[in-house]
A and B are shown apart, each in its own frame.
Chain A
Amino acid sequence: MRFIFKTDYGQDIKLAKHGGHVFWYSLLCAALVLAPWLVSEYLLAQLTFILIYGIVGVGLMLLAGFTGQFSIGHAAFFGVGAYTQAVLTGMGWPFPLALAAGAALSATVGVVVGLPALRVKGIYLGIATLSFGFIVEEVFARWESVTGGNAGKTVGQIKMFGWTADTGASFYFVCLVITVLATLAVVNLLRSHTGRAFVAIRDSEISAQSMGIHLAYYKTMSFAISAALAGIGGALYAHQIRFLSPDQFNIIQSIDLLLMVVIGGLGSIHGAFLGAIFLIGLPQAISAVKDFLPDAIGQAPGLKAVIYGAVLIAFVLFEPLGLYGRWLKIRTWFQLFPFYRKGLFKRQKSFQKSDRLK
């Protein structure tokens, strides 16, 4: 058990709280930098996907986990970023400029969607974003002169200023740098007054408003940042997958993104990455164990959906804090050994608060 002796107010908002953080995150960074030499080409591609989904996850986590606004149409922002990147790099724009343009466009779209979000709450917001997602998917399919429609659109490699990311490793490094920057930006935002305003809105809109937080401004900002990060993720996704079609950005993708943050653990940045590992790793795990199952189960087409659904149900029922919450419990168990008590993380029994007032 570690006790931090605080001698300075600055310690409260330090990124690395103690030496352990510095050590473990440095180790993680070193492992990630050395990964191209340590793992196979195939695993590296999967790792790249994890980083890309991690960026989107961090963005969605900011919106869902820290501002308490749920978007069931995040694939739309993801798609806007991907298609912008595809079109602009097709026109010969250098990678960083196209990326910035994609992020800016996604953020603008996010603000447009965020505007009705200011009037509606809870489930209405979910339905508004869901509807928006469907409309954007249809636009991708119909605007054939730009998106290539259902026939799809191919995307080239990353090119900037005479340099081309033509190997898996070089693309991996581009993704790694952007992921680290995006994560640091979000973590930094969360310890500023803006981030605290987000958390205050999540915990209670009315108390946040009474404390002088402008709800509309902060909610729109959260939407915009989240959409911009989804757009950046989408742009990298376009380069990684090299072929875009509208059905990659449908409702299933939106729900997958949401599933990622819920299973990872709402309200923690770690959770976004753990969720991304889960989302990318589970299909691999399923195809690995498929051969050992009887054919009637292992080769059935619905197996993936059943496992996804069952895992989601299990997490909501038994581990609402997600994978990160599970990790916290395991860590605490080791730290307190042998004094871990069962009720340590017990959920407080809460009664449903009615939204209705007569």
Chain B
Amino acid sequence: MQVFQLLISGISQGCIYGLIALGFVLIYKATETVSFAQGELMMLGAFGGLACMTFLGFPFWLAVISAIGAMAVFGVLLERVVIRPILGQPAFSIVMLTIGIGYVARGLITMIPNIGTETHTLPVPYKDMIWKLGGDANGIGALVINIEQVVVIASTAMLCVLLFAMFRYSKLGIAMQASSQNQLAAYYMGIPVKRLNGLVWGLAAAVAAIAGLLLAPITFVHANMGFIGLKAFPAAVVGGFGSLPGAIVGGLIIGIVESLSGFYLPDGFKDTAAYIVVLVMLMVKPNGLFGEKLRKKV
């Protein structure tokens, strides 16, 4: 029972990592740049949800949808205003740029008086609900499942199906695939590559917002919750940086390893487990589980 308990909390945490990693991978596949601001986008999404629910008083579903929509628009604008002008510069400039965006986002949220420095709970309808499975008459030895964790896992699964369907069947998804495989060829085929890149940023920001809204009931909403994004890098690398299913699988692996090592290994291993896994992975199989072998053209 203990193991199942750990596995479930690991999987739900892993889903969050996987969703953030999905954002990295989407952006990386489309534009070959890495966004270090993904964690902060997640934080902004959670704050957006909080603002909609508590200050504007929206009902739950409307709040969720408007937070995700707002973040998608924000992602598109971000790409248009700051990312596009330096496209074609060395990849590292964009990394520094996104680090700067992360700093500004975190700082601005902190600057909101009385709200930015506090931790908040997101008032979701499924807060603190618990399922008990099995166990004896007194409920001892039962498997206790938080509904919050179930919601995380279920929504991640649903989102994966949606994304899969989009990339497989919709015109937009196929165009995105084409431009990520070969931008120039896609451009010659009449695909508006620039506009697609903007949409990919929007999609990544929306996915980050979903991750934020899912994570918020489990932890809290606060300005530094974006640092969890740094744990999604290992997830993306373990899965192979260019693979969408890889991001989710990598996230699950990192989540499960973290939750098991937190219980079975001494203190301190829980926080570093993800990084140890990624270092081992980089030494053994640098392209990740699902990554393709890439060679650089001269």
A residues in contact (CB < 8 Å) with B: 64, 70, 116, 119-124, 126-128, 130-132, 134-135, 138, 141-142, 204-207, 251, 255, 258-259, 262, 296-297, 300-313, 316-317, 320, 349-358
Contact = CB atoms under 8 A, between A and B. Distances in A.
B295 interface: yes
Interface of chain A: mostly helix, strand, loop or mixed: helix
B69 to A, nearest CB: 25
B177 interface: no
Given A119-B282, A305-B104, A124 B99 contact: no
Given A302-B108, A350-B89, A355-B32, A309 B100 contact: yes
Given A119-B286, A141-B268, A356-B294, A309 B113 contact: no
Contact of A352 (B88, B233, B275, B283): B88
B104 A310 contact: yes
A251 B230 contact: yes
B102 A354 contact: no
Contact of B32 (A64, A132, A302, A352): A352
Interface in B5-32: 28, 32
A120 B286 contact: yes
B130 interface: no
Contact of B107 (A262, A304, A353): A304
A65 to B, nearest CB: 11
B104 A309 contact: yes
Interface string B159-190: 00000000000000000000001110000000
Contacts of B267: 142
25 contacts: A126-B34, A127-B237, A127-B282, A128-B278, A130-B275, A131-B279, A134-B271, A135-B272, A138-B268, A206-B298, A251-B230, A297-B111, A302-B108, A305-B110, A308-B103, A308-B107, A310-B100, A311-B100, A312-B100, A316-B94, A317-B86, A352-B32, A352-B87, A355-B297, A357-B295
Nearest to A354: B32
Of B82, B93, B104, B268, chain A has the most CB atoms within 10 Å of the CB of B104
B86 to A, nearest CB: 6
A313 B279 contact: no
Contacts of A353: 297
B275 A131 contact: yes
A149 to B, nearest CB: 10
B116 interface: yes
B115 to A, nearest CB: 11
A350 B278 CA distance: 33
Contacts of A316: 86, 93-94, 96-97, 100
B241 A124 contact: yes
A134 B275 CA distance: 7
A31 B189 CA distance: 63
Contacts of A351: 88
A142 B92 CA distance: 33
A123 B104 contact: no
Contact of A305 (B107, B183, B295): B107
Interface string B270-285: 0110111011001100
Contacts of B110: 300-302, 305
A123 B296 contact: no
Contacts of A120: 282, 286
Classify chain B: how many residues form its interface, as a range: 35 or more
B117 A301 contact: yes
Contacts of A135: 272, 275-276, 279
A306 B282 contact: no
Nearest to A262: B96
A309 B86 contact: no
Nearest to A123: B34
A127 B281 CA distance: 12
Given A130-B230, A317-B85, A302 B223 contact: yes
Nearest to B277: A131
A349 B100 CA distance: 23
Contact of B282 (A116, A301, A317): A116
A239 B89 CA distance: 40
B40 to A, nearest CB: 10
A135 B233 CA distance: 15
B143 interface: no
Contact of A124 (B86, B227, B237, B295): B237
B283 A119 contact: yes
B56 to A, nearest CB: 22
Interface string B102-139: 11111111110100110000000000000000000000
A142 B268 contact: yes
B95 interface: yes
B233 A313 contact: no
Contacts of B283: 116, 119
A350 to B, nearest CB: 5
Nearest to B94: A316
B297 A357 contact: yes
Contacts of B92: 64, 70
Given A141-B268, A355-B32, A313 B104 contact: yes
B234 interface: yes
B113 A296 contact: yes
A355 B291 CA distance: 14
Nearest to B106: A305
B278 A127 contact: yes
A132 B282 CA distance: 12
A310 B101 CA distance: 8
A319 to B, nearest CB: 11
B33 to A, nearest CB: 9
Contact of B279 (A132, A311, A349, A354): A132
Nearest to A261: B96
B91 interface: yes
A222 to B, nearest CB: 16
A59 B230 CA distance: 25
B74 to A, nearest CB: 15
